[in-house]
Structure 1
Amino acid sequence: MRAALTRLAAPALLFLLLLAVPFLGIGGGFVLDLLTRAMILGIAAVSLSLLVGGAGLVSLGHAAMMGIGAYAVAALDAAGITEGMIVFPTALAAAALFALVTGAVSLRTSGVHFIMITLAFGQMAFFTASSFSSLGGDDGYTLYARTEILGSPLLQDRRSFYLVCLALLALVWGGCTAILGSRFGRVLRAARENERRVRAVGFSPVPYRLVAYVMAGAVGGLAGALLANASEFVSPASLSWTRSGELLFLVILGGLGRLHGAILGALAFVLLEEWLSHLFVYWRLVFGPLLVLAVLFLHDGIAGLPGSLRAWSRWRPTFSKRRSADA
């Protein structure tokens, strides 16, 4: 019980801090927009963390799920449909269907082959989106208006949109945490560690992995629908493999195996990118090496930083005593 409360302490503190931001008046609307974008990326990163950390499935096509969710919003907007009770379920269903079809093929492989086939499916989705001339093609599509919720322009207000994204982020994190803690999640983790042993006790990992892949795809579609509303613009770039690589990097930066680490990774990535871009023109020359150093030296990610600091503090006095004894 105590261990469970300890594991929940860091995510609970993180959500409380995010909840307090709009009521503290920090930075005005710009900060809210920035954190909203970070939380949307966090939703997609948590769903990818479910695959990578939970099932051991490293996907380079996860951005396709986001892009399909975003293009579902654009297609319905072009048809004059902006009701959220239609738009969001459609975005989730479209992304889940894409994940089901591609996952049924991709999960026949493993390791590097799985990475490459998800990359191939992602690029197919990218080029397909580029060919949609009715939705702007390569130039993208600008939404006429943000999605309404039961006829109310709830998402038009910055604070309301921020709180909706925060609530959905907490819901996604809680749902993924419950999944990994269930019997279903235990089978996923066991198959990640030793697939042969799981088969020996009577479980076939493929159906479990496919269900997890579809669930992660649906959540990715939700993130894409929210991102389309946040930017009020959709383009094929949202489906590119570089966005998939960015999402995978967020998971690694935050800490593999820690769902709230994906949220921390998204926040750190977005805030550091924004801060450096205001310092000097060639900020990417610093941004890239900083992220590489973070991955190299933070082996457990940002979420594991407190534990790493405690281990370092215990190791340092021992090291000092050894040096004194040698002297």
Structure 2
Amino acid sequence: MKRNIAMVALPAAAAAAAALLADDFVLRFLAEILLFGIAVMSLDILIGFGGLMSLGHAALFGGAAYAAAIAARQWGGDVALVLGSGIATGMVLAALMGVVVLRSGHLFLLILTLLMGQMVWEVAFHWREVTGGADGLRGLPALSLGPWTLSTARALFLLAALLAAVAFVVGRSFVAAPIGRALVGTREEPIRMAALGYSLFAVRFRALVLAGALAGAAGALFPFVNLYVGPQSVHWTQSAAMVIMLVIGGIGSLWGAFIGSAVYLGIQTYLSAYTDRWQLCVGLVFVLTVLLLPNGIASGLRILRDRLRRRGA
């Protein structure tokens, strides 16, 4: 009980402090970290718990971003409409992807998710009348919640923090529930799980749809935080970046997804101002993480915490 309270109280206190002390640029940057953290966490459910490697996850995130932006242009920036359109789009794209890819495995699964993701990119890049093509979509209306307008960086950050908290609780509940245990079973002992009467396709399909809903929710807010959405957000390179974030943060650790997102986006945002070779720095961090912390930064922090506790005892 105390652990659960700490897991909620500490991030809430950090979010409150950031909302009070940080400037607009930092708040938007932190909101972007939280949104990518949600998307990477949803990818972790597939890879870390289901063993389902995907290079098409950006299609769920970016496709929802496009859907939310288009819906806001047509009907206004109501938060319920924006989130609803993003979540629905993420779930639909995940369901379509699941029907095609989940009957394959390993290398074929990876290739099929890549192809499905690139099909979404083709639509976003070439359907210029709707998506803006290579120029993307800008000039979106401000988000609103009833009579309140959520256009300031502080409001968007708090909304992203609330969404991250809800998404983390949903993801944690899923992996702790029987369906989450069954998902781990399909990764470790697929033949035995099938012999016990489990449908491997059904278990994995539900996990993929949930991951699509979480990635879609994050993607729905992304255009309003970033003030832009373009075809790069659905490209396979964005999916690869999410995998890198996940490895750095820690596969199998839901909260490690936010650490990996912070490290990757921090290098991209701040080091790119000094050098064009910021991707080399990401590669070095990635290699060092794999060599020194195979289970990611989250695992290293957990080990450090346990050692400090033992010393204190």
What's the TM-score, normalizing by structure 2? Answer: 0.91
- What is the match of residue 110 of structure 2? 115
* Aligned positions of 1:1-327 closer than 5 A: 9=6, 13-23=10-20, 25-26=21-22, 28-134=23-129, 135-154=131-150, 156-309=151-304
Please tell me the root mean square deviation across aligned C-alpha atoms, in Å: 2.2
CA drift at 1:46: 1.0
Q: Which structure is larger by alpha-carbon Rg, 1 or 2?
A: 1
| Superimposed CA distance per residue, residues 199-233 of structure 1 (whole angstroms, 9 cap, x where no aligned partner) | 12121121011011011111111111111111221
**Matched position secondary structure for 2:144:** coil
| Superimposed CA distance per residue, residues 97-135 of structure 1 (whole angstroms, 9 cap, x where no aligned partner) | 111112111101011111110110000000111111113
Aligned partner letter, 2:15: L
Q: Is the 8 A contact 1:122 1:240 kept in 2?
A: yes
Q: Is the 8 A contact 1:19 1:166 kept in 2?
A: no
1:107–1:281 Cα change, 3 Å: closer
Measure, in 2, the Cα distance between the counterparts of 1:164 and 1:311. 33
| Superimposed CA distance per residue, residues 241-283 of structure 1 (whole angstroms, 9 cap, x where no aligned partner) | 0100111111111111110011111112222333322444543
Q: Is the 8 A contact 1:123 1:240 kept in 2?
A: yes
Measure, in 1, the Cα distance between the counterparts of 2:125 and 2:189. 41
Q: Is the 8 A contact 2:45 2:171 kept in 1?
A: yes
CA drift at 1:10: 5.7
Sequence identity (%): 32
Measure, in 1, the Cα distance between the counterparts of 2:204 and 2:5. 26
Q: Is the 8 A contact 1:74 1:143 kept in 2?
A: no
1:312–1:276 Cα change, 3 Å: farther
Q: Is the 8 A contact 1:11 1:260 kept in 2?
A: no
CA drift at 1:15: 4.5
Q: Is the 8 A contact 1:73 1:91 kept in 2?
A: yes
- What is the match of residue 311 of structure 2? none
Measure, in 2, the Cα distance between the counterparts of 1:129 and 1:260. 31
Aligned partner letter, 1:243: Q
**Matched position secondary structure for 1:79:** helix
Aligned partner letter, 1:198: M
**Matched position secondary structure for 1:148:** strand
| Superimposed CA distance per residue, residues 64-100 of structure 1 (whole angstroms, 9 cap, x where no aligned partner) | 0111111112322342432222222122112211111
| Superimposed CA distance per residue, residues 173-212 of structure 1 (whole angstroms, 9 cap, x where no aligned partner) | 1111011111111111111111111112121121011011
Give 5+ residue unaligned stretches, structure 2.
309-313
Q: Is the 8 A contact 2:28 2:226 kept in 1?
A: no
Aligned partner letter, 1:257: G
Aligned partner letter, 1:140: G
